[in-house]
Copies of this chain bind each other. A is one copy, B any other.
Amino acid sequence: MKLGMIGLGRMGANMAQRLMQGGHQLVGFDPKPEARKSLEDKGAESADSLAALVAKLSAPRIVWMMVPAGEITDSTLTNLLPLLAAGDIVIDGGNSNYKDTLRRAGTAAEKKIGYVDCGTSGGVWGLAEGYSMMVGGDENTVEQLRPIFETLAPAKDKGWGRVGPVGAGHFTKMIHNGVEYGMMQAYAEGFSILQHKKEFGLDLHQVAEIWRTGSVVRSWLLDLTADALGKNPSMAGIAPYVVDSGEGRWTVAEAIDLNVPAPIITQSLIERLRSRDSESFTDKLLSAMRNEFGGHEIKKE
């Protein structure tokens, strides 16, 4: 199929390339000329504006947005929708909040433009291994896009699926990331305990390698963890500072809204906040309180 790709960053460029490798025709747009040039070199057409991109597609047009969630998605869509016509389809492949997706799909629907949300997992490995995709949208609309998903996925009929109406794709991806937070934290805590048990002199990379084959905790994340531990067993030069990108927060908020206890996923997010709070007011006050009632010494800064 022929489709437009808006946003040629790491994720967008890789997805465009995988699509071309699968025989699709791509028109790419990105505000950065070098990003456009790079995709052209791989065989795509490029466009230096949304209007130019739309002009290079024929109805029904298919446009995949792979831009940062939030305001950029909104501004892109605001500029894009007037250029499209009834029957065209926009796919949001980014990490949008599903509530934003529901709102945007409503706006698109007013013009009878199809809207599909695709929660995409796979990171930098997706180009080679394929992407896991959780798709939301009308059955007919998603069906039209089948050749695209079959190419992007690790296998024709594996690693992707329409999980429900529009919004369901981003919702499912959000929860996927919540689970990811919990799994990462579980591994990291485990290796940290091993690392502190000095008398056994454990080799964390070796342990990870052993666990990768045959154990109950084997996983792709463990494969990556083994790789990281192999390259840098003592985590030298790495700050104990963990970023969160939004999906974890949304998962926590959603769990509470739904009255579902999700203590582990929630605490995994809180641990990331904690990693960035090196001057914890909480801890300082606790130290002051101990001094107040018990005369316990305060550690000076």
Which residues of A does B touch, CB under 8 Å?
A: 10, 121-126, 129-134, 136, 153-155, 158-161, 163-165, 167-168, 171-172, 175-197, 200-203, 206-207, 209-222, 224-225, 227-229, 232, 235, 237-243, 249, 251-256, 258-296, 298-301
User: Can you pick out 26 interface pairs between chain A and chain B where the beta carbons lie within 8 Å of each other?
Assistant: A132-B213, A132-B218, A134-B210, A158-B209, A161-B206, A163-B206, A165-B200, A176-B190, A178-B189, A187-B285, A189-B260, A189-B263, A191-B281, A193-B254, A218-B220, A228-B291, A237-B301, A238-B284, A238-B288, A241-B283, A242-B287, A243-B290, A256-B273, A261-B282, A263-B270, A267-B267
A277 in complex: contacting residue of B187, B260, B264, CB < 8 Å: B260
Q: Known contacts A191-B281, A251-B193; decide if A10 and B176 are in contact (CB<8 Å).
A: no
A238 in complex: contacting residue of B160, B267, B299, CB < 8 Å: B299
A292 in complex: contacting residue of B136, B186, B227, B281, CB < 8 Å: B227
Instruction: Please state if B275 and A280 are interface contacts (CB–CB under 8 Å).
Output: yes
CA–CA, A166 to B225, complex, Å? 26
A174 to chain B, nearest CB (A): 9
Instruction: Please state if A132 and B215 are interface contacts (CB–CB under 8 Å).
Output: yes
Instruction: Please state if B175 and A293 are interface contacts (CB–CB under 8 Å).
Output: no
Q: Which residue of B lies closest to A210 (CB)?
A: B161
CA–CA, A165 to B199, complex, Å? 9
| B-chain residues with CB within 8 Å of residue A206 when the two chains form the complex | 161, 163
Instruction: Please state if A214 and B263 are interface contacts (CB–CB under 8 Å).
Output: no
| B-chain residues with CB within 8 Å of residue A282 when the two chains form the complex | 185, 188-189, 191-192, 240, 260-261, 271
* 13 further contact pairs, Cβ within 8 A, besides A182-B264, A184-B290: A124-B295, A158-B209, A178-B190, A183-B183, A186-B265, A187-B285, A190-B265, A192-B281, A216-B221, A225-B285, A243-B287, A275-B286, A278-B278
| B-chain residues with CB within 8 Å of residue A163 when the two chains form the complex | 200, 202-203, 206-207, 210
CA–CA, A272 to B278, complex, Å? 13
- Best-buried of A187, A289, A300 by chain B (most CB within 10 Å): A289
Q: Known contacts A161-B210, A225-B285, A289-B187; decide if A260 and B218 are in contact (CB<8 Å).
A: no
A289 in complex: contacting residue of B178, B184, B273, CB < 8 Å: B184
Instruction: Please state if B255 and A209 are interface contacts (CB–CB under 8 Å).
Output: no
